[in-house]
Amino acid sequence: MLTELDPSSHWLAGQVAGIHLFTLAGGMVIGAAAVFLYHAIGRIAGISGIFFTGMKEGGVWRWLFLVGIVLGAGLGAHLFPTLNIVTRPNPGFWILVSSGLLVGWGTRQGGGCTSGHGVCGLGRLSPRSLVAVLVFMAAGVFTASVLRHWLGVPA
Amino acid sequence: MKSNLAALAAGLLFGFGLMLSGMSNPGEVLSFLDWSGVWSPDLMGVLGSAVLVSVIGFQLARRRKRPWFEDEFPALPKKPIDRSLLIGNLLFGIGWGLAGYCPGPALAGLALGNNEVLIFLVAMLAGGYLQQGWARKRSDR
């Protein structure tokens, strides 16, 4: 099931080639945020890196960026309440724990996540990030399509 | 001061974008990653439009000698395409496909009254620390 805006009340509910306009608009905002951070202070908006470096070394700008993400999402949820939903069943405690462990370990070992390698790395035309994105996308698709069903995670 | 405010503004914009794009909903993420059921191209739209803006923005930044509020662009370490990159991203992708969370949307979920993300974030923190401890041990040997 997909996230939905009410088509009768919002133009962003429309689609282009099966892609919802709000996802395109949201993606542009994400890209603009990453570009803004780089132009303003020269930092890469890689959330896993900022999160773990912030935990280890601190840095006011890191914490403010992370707090901003939470507040910005809250603001978005206030303006677009119908987008604030989780449309998949709760996968259960152990799946949440193992997925968290894997994401934490993997993003540290692999040097980035969807934002650092995806949005910023691809934006900087980094071959290393392109490899990273291809690997985590392939692993994500395999896991969600096959492994998750083998494990009997509610879908 | 200006740098810190800019980081806060960038975070606000980023979190707003995560919400608007639907990425804060792990069901939306899984509807792209799961090819066995009803498939949605939405996540491709998010990444595609984000990268489009980011390519243009980072190209424009190459003409600048320094950022607006700092004296210089911090040097980005040149790292090779190695086993760590491949294995790390493989593990990250498996974790992502299991529950539909990557770090940004999980943080955003904190604002959305979504309690699952608390469990996920604590485990993510533990996973990161375990990896760093393991990497330190290996480099000591």
Q: Measuring CA to CA, how many Å separate A115 from each of A15, B70, B103? A: 24, 22, 9
In one-letter notation, the amino acid at residue A125 is: L
ipTM of predicted complex: 0.96
Cα–Cα distance, A129 to A126 (Å, whole number): 5
Using CA atoms in the order A144, A76, B15, A19, what is the torsion angle rounded to 10 degrees? Answer: 40
* Chain A residues lying within 8 Å of B10, measured CB to CB: 33-34, 36-37, 40, 45, 65, 68
Cα–Cα distance, B136 to B130 (Å, whole number): 10
Looking at residue B37, its pLDDT comes to 86
Instruction: Measure CB to CB from residue B20 to each of A55, A76, A102 and give the nearest one.
Output: A76
Mutant choice from B66, B94, B134 vs A, greatest count of A C-beta within 10 A: B94
Q: Is A42 helix (H, G, I), strand (E, B) or coil?
A: coil
pLDDT above 90 covers what percent of chain A?
79
A 116-155 → B contacts, CB under 8 A: 117-120, 122-125, 127-128, 131-133, 135-149, 153, 155
Looking at residue A1, its pLDDT comes to 43
Looking at residue B96, its pLDDT comes to 98
Looking at residue A13, its pLDDT comes to 82
- Burial label for A87, CB within 10 Å (0-12, 13-18, 19+), is middle
Q: How many domains is chain B built from?
A: 1
Run of H or E residues at B79: none
pLDDT (tens digit, 9 = 90+) per residue, A30-63?
999 999 999 999 999 999 999 999 998 989 999 9
CB A27 to CB B53 under 8 A?
yes
Looking at residue A90, its pLDDT comes to 95
Mutant choice from B96, B114, B120, B139 vs A, greatest count of A C-beta within 10 A: B96
Write phi, then psi, for B82 (nearest 5 degrees). -130, -170
Ordered alpha helix ranges (H), A44-118: 47-57, 60-79, 93-109
In one-letter notation, the amino acid at residue A18 is: G
pLDDT (tens digit, 9 = 90+) per residue, A2-28?
556 665 567 788 888 889 999 999 999
List of residues 6+ apart from B101 with CB closer than 8 A: A99, A100, A103, B26, B29, B109, B117, B120
DSSP secondary structure string for all residues of B6-72 = HHHHHHHHHHHHHHHTTTT-HHHHHHHH-TTSS---HHHHHHHHHHHHHHHHHHHHTT-SS-SSSSS
Q: Inter-axis angle of helices B116-140 and B83-99, to 10 degrees?
A: 160
Cα–Cα distance, A132 to A117 (Å, whole number): 7
* Chain B residues lying within 8 Å of A61, measured CB to CB: 3-4, 6-7
* Chain A residues lying within 8 Å of B61, measured CB to CB: 35, 38-39
Instruction: Measure CB to CB from residue A109 to each of B4, B36, B131 and give the nearest one.
Output: B131
Half-sphere exposure at residue B83, Cβ-oriented, CA atoms within 13 angstroms: 0
Whether the CB of B39 is below 8 Å from some CB of chain A: the reply is: no
Domain with B27 in it: 2-140
Half-sphere exposure at residue A145, Cβ-oriented, CA atoms within 13 angstroms: 14
Q: How far is A78 from chain B (nearest CA, A)?
A: 9
Mean pLDDT value of segment A83-99: 94
Mean pLDDT value of segment A120-129: 96
Q: Is A30 helix (H, G, I), strand (E, B) or coil?
A: helix
pLDDT greater at residue A73 or residue A85: A73
Whether the CB of B81 is below 8 Å from some CB of chain A: the reply is: yes
Looking at residue A79, its pLDDT comes to 92
CB A88 to CB B17 under 8 A?
no
The ranges assigned to domains in chain A are 1-87, 90-155
List of residues 6+ apart from B133 with CB closer than 8 A: none
Write phi, then psi, for A20 (nearest 5 degrees). -70, 140
Which pTM does this prediction carry?
0.95
Q: What angle do CA A134, B125, B99 make, to 5 degrees?
A: 50
Ranges under pLDDT 50 in chain B:
none
Q: Which residue of A has its CA nearest to B29?
A: A2
Write phi, then psi, for A16 (nearest 5 degrees). -125, 120
Query: Are B62 and A59 contacting, i.e. CB atoms less than 8 angstroms apart?
Result: no
Q: Which residue of B has its CA nearest to A136?
A: B93
Average pLDDT over chain A, rounded to whole? 93
Q: Which residue of B has its CA nearest to A48?
A: B103
Whether the CB of B133 is below 8 Å from some CB of chain A: the reply is: no
| Strand partners for A15 | A20
CB B42 to CB A19 under 8 A?
yes
